[in-house]
């Protein structure tokens, strides 16, 4: 299986640079925590990084129509990227997706198909065949390489960083950040964070192989962007090589972290983006500076 390298990270960062923000690291007063504010990206989520790189590669290969399935943020990102590159775009969303994310995808030019959560993947695959569209997966090689720029930026902007906390859905973000962080400094501890109600990633990490949770279980969490029932196959291969640990947080801790981020650093975090701050507040972490990826603010 072909894995993302530091060279791929540099190449992706150069390709997407004209379209994204190099987001700031914001210090939480009185703490050893810095917040990587990816909610400031054009679609208010980190997802735009990977989508721009992946859709750009597909455009170079002659694709005229792309399709993605998503809980919401990946859909917006793919629609944004397709719009910038002149491609037609279709997205498949669950009927539980917040209306804010559905409306935003349509506003960015996407044709939106809404289905029950368990039918997202099969519907996307069937539509791709029917429409002749190229699928943009949230843990594709090019998507992971695009996301990895976050890890590279943290390592460059906070040279003494000891620990990086990363939200986990299907693992594409965690995989990319881990590759880039370990390339910059192998001593950096990279930790994935999930809601306790959707902890298939931690279960996989502990078992040493991918573990699938029922969709009805993962959809209990308020963190709608972290409800994937299993880690992506390619993401998992990076995670098992480069990630140091996986932690979980409670629903109450997520909400408390959202409130803290708003009050102390003035950032609007969706529940999925607040899990890393929740982990900092509720777990004992290695000594030294900690960076938490605030992955999105679509709330």
By annotation, the residues acting in catalysis are 47, 71
d(CA 162, CA 291): 8
Which value, in Å, is the radius of gyration of the alpha carbons in the chain? Answer: 17
What is the CB-side half-sphere exposure of residue 79 using CA atoms within 13 A? Answer: 26
Q: Locate 259 and state its tokens.
A: 């409130």
């Amino acid at each position: 299986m072909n894995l993302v390298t530091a060279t791929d990270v540099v190449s992706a960062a150069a390709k997407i640079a004209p379209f994204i923000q190099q987001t700031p690291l914001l210090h939480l007063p009185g703490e050893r925590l810095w917040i990587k504010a990816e909610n400031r990206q054009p679609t208010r989520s980190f997802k735009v990084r990977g989508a721009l790189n992946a859709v750009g590669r597909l455009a170079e290969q002659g694709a005229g129509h792309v399709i993605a399935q998503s809980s919401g943020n990946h859909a917006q990102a793919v629609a944004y990227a397709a719009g910038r590159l002149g491609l037609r775009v279709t997205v498949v969303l669950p009927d539980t997706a917040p209306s804010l994310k559905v409306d935003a995808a349509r506003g960015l030019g996407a044709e939106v198909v809404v289905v029950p959560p368990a039918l997202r993947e099969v519907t996307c695959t069937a539509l791709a065949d029917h429409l002749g569209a190229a699928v943009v997966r949230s843990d594709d090689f090019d998507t992971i390489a695009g996301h990895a720029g976050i890890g590279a930026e943290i390592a460059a902007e906070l040279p003494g960083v000891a620990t990086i906390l990363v939200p986990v859905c299907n693992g594409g973000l965690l995989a990319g950040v881990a590759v880039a962080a370990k390339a910059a400094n192998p001593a950096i501890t990279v930790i994935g964070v999930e809601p306790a109600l959707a902890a298939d990633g931690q279960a996989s990490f502990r078992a040493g192989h991918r573990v699938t949770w029922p969709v009805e279980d993962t959809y209990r969490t308020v963190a709608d962007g972290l409800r994937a029932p299993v880690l992506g196959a390619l993401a998992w291969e990076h995670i098992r090589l480069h990630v140091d640990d996986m932690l979980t947080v409670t629903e109450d801790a997520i909400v408390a972290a959202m409130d803290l981020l708003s009050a102390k650093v003035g950032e609007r975090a969706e529940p999925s983006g607040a899990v890393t701050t929740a982990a900092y507040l509720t777990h004992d972490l290695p000594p030294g500076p900690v960076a938490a990826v605030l992955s999105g603010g679509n709330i």
